[in-house]
Amino acid sequence: MPTLKGTPQGASIPRHSGELALIAVIAAVLLALYAIWTGNVVRAAANAEGQHGPALEAVLWLAILASLVLFWPASQAIAHWQAKNRALEQGDVLAARIAAAAAKERAYIALGYSAAGLVAFAFIMFVLANDMAVGRTFFYLPLMVEKYGLVVRAFSNNIFIFVVAEILVLIWGLVVAIARLLPGEAGRPIRMLAALYCDVFRGLPAVVTLYLIGFGLPLSGIIPSEIPGIGRVPLTWFAIIALTLTYGAYVAEVYRAGIESIHPSQIAAARSLGLSYFQALRYVIVPQAVRRIMAPLLNDFIGLQKDTALVNVIGVIDGFNQSRIIASNAFNLSAVTIVAIIFVLITIPQARFVDKLIERDQRRMRAGS
């Protein structure tokens, strides 16, 4: 085979590698300048607060040094670009092509990281803007430290509501999904009823359902606000009913999609062994469907968890309501930031947990291919 020296007809070399390498260098310079500027603003703010110290100074310099790391891929991009030019002069198209591709790749790395750095520094600047007014409004640490216990305690109400509601939704959603899939003429009215339920409760805003159920059920006397011998029905339970009805409709649709995604041959195989329709659902179809819908199910659960912040419309004191009370007393939103952080924090381990579950299941069922 002849060596591919010289210029084969039509051989292409990645274009713009030089421009990209230059842009990467410029981006690295800009980021370094921006880092230094941000550092100065932080230092000034800390001085104004009397919080400036060696620890902060160390953190600032670490951040600035970290931003300088970008010069590494940027300079590599330049070096590869020069190598490309040299190779071209010698007529070695293959080498030029490889060098140009490497230059582009390094340049994109520098650009990607500098974009992320820019966003991070911009966020710091935003927090410190307006003489730290933004930071004080959202992240006033003394208030946060003082009140987080109160907010966390109130948040236990959210946890209670969504844990109970999720258990109920898992059962109720499956019942509705199976009702929507009932076969035959006899099943038609039930199917229509289930479809109507899904349409209505998916269409209703959760806050409206909460309002109607939280005030409507006790008001109409259907569910007495006091049960003899037990006492008052806590408002929390009306919130649970409302959220179960709302999210039951979503989850029913997820179940249905999962059940319908199982190939009909699985039903045929189960029925051919003498299993009844419901046995086939119970042992063959639903277990496979549930494995497939784990991720969308988690989506709906996270939605439900977030919507527990709405229960204050019927007067349930949840984490959000508690933090709003604190916020209006202190004229500062930092307490709401606490509840915001809690909401985010609780979803992350759930997402990882579901990922693990799915992964474990696939490892068990799939060959090691």
Partner 1 sequence: MSFLELRMVEKRFGPIAVLGGLDLTVEEHQVVCLIGPSGCGKSTLLRCVNGLEPIQSGEIVLAGDRVSGPGVDVNKLRREVGIVFQSFNLFPHMSVLDNITLAPVKVLGRSRADAVEAAMALLERIGLPEKAREFPDRLSGGQQQRVAIVRALAMQPRLMLLDEITSALDPELVAEVLNIVRDLARRGMTMLLATHEMGFAREVASKICFLYDGRVHEEGPPDQLIGNPRRERTRAFLKRIIEAGRL
Q: How far is the CB of 189 from partner 1 (least distance, A)?
A: 22
Q: Which is nearer to partner 1, 288 or 347 (CB)?
A: 288
Sorted by sequence, the CB contacts under 8 Å of residue 58 that are 6+ apart come out as none
Q: What angle do CA 57, 58, 61 make, to 5 degrees?
A: 85
Answer yes or no whether residue 219 interacts with partner 1 by CB under 8 A. no
**68: closest CA among 27, 23, 123?**
27
Out of 75, 137, 288, 299, the residue judged to bind partner 1 by CB under 8 A: 288
Long-range contacts: 357-361, Cβ < 8 Å, 24+? 357/294, 358/291, 358/294, 358/295, 361/291
The pair of three-digit structure tokens given for residue 220, joined into one six-digit string: 């109409």
User: What x-and-dash track marks residues 227-266 binding partner 1 by CB under 8 A?
Assistant: --------------------------------------xx
The pair of three-digit structure tokens given for residue 231, joined into one six-digit string: 């006492």
Burial letters for 283-306: b for 16+ Cβ neighbours within 10 Å, e otherwise?
Answer: ebbbebbbebbeebbbebbbebbb
Out of 40, 130, 156, 276, the residue judged to bind partner 1 by CB under 8 A: 276
Q: How far is the CB of 2 from partner 1 (least distance, A)?
A: 42
Q: Which is nearer to partner 1, 61 or 283 (CB)?
A: 283
Which segment (63-71, 159-167, 267-275, 343-351) binds partner 1 by CB under 8 A?
267-275
**252: closest CA among 307, 193, 209?**
193
Q: Which is nearer to partner 1, 203 or 364 (CB)?
A: 364
Cβ pair 97, 11 in contact under 8 A: yes
Cβ pair 293, 255 in contact under 8 A: yes
Q: Are strands 226-227 and 231-232 parallel, antiparallel or unpaired?
A: antiparallel
Strand partners, 231: 227
Answer yes or no whether residue 271 interacts with partner 1 by CB under 8 A. yes
Answer yes or no whether residue 186 interacts with partner 1 by CB under 8 A. no
Q: How far is the CB of 257 from partner 1 (least distance, A)?
A: 18
Q: Which whole-number Å values give the CA distances from 130 to 46, 136, 195, in the listed order?
A: 14, 10, 53
Q: Which is nearer to partner 1, 53 or 368 (CB)?
A: 368
Q: How far is the CB of 363 from partner 1 (least distance, A)?
A: 10
Out of 145, 268, 295, 344, the residue judged to bind partner 1 by CB under 8 A: 268
Out of 13, 69, 275, 354, the residue judged to bind partner 1 by CB under 8 A: 275
Distance between CA atoms of residues 368 and 354, nearest Å: 21
Q: How far is the CB of 359 from partner 1 (least distance, A)?
A: 15
Strand partners, 232: 226
Answer yes or no whether residue 284 interacts with partner 1 by CB under 8 A. yes
Answer yes or no whether residue 272 interacts with partner 1 by CB under 8 A. yes
Out of 32, 42, 270, 293, the residue judged to bind partner 1 by CB under 8 A: 270
Answer yes or no whether residue 295 interacts with partner 1 by CB under 8 A. no
Answer yes or no whether residue 171 interacts with partner 1 by CB under 8 A. no
Distance between CA atoms of residues 251 and 299, nearest Å: 10
Q: Which is nearer to partner 1, 149 or 287 (CB)?
A: 287
Sorted by sequence, the CB contacts under 8 Å of residue 214 that are 6+ apart come out as 235, 238, 239, 242, 311, 313, 314, 315, 316
Answer yes or no whether residue 287 interacts with partner 1 by CB under 8 A. yes
User: Which residues contact partner 1 by CB under 8 A?
Assistant: 265-266, 268-276, 279, 283-284, 287-288, 291, 364-367
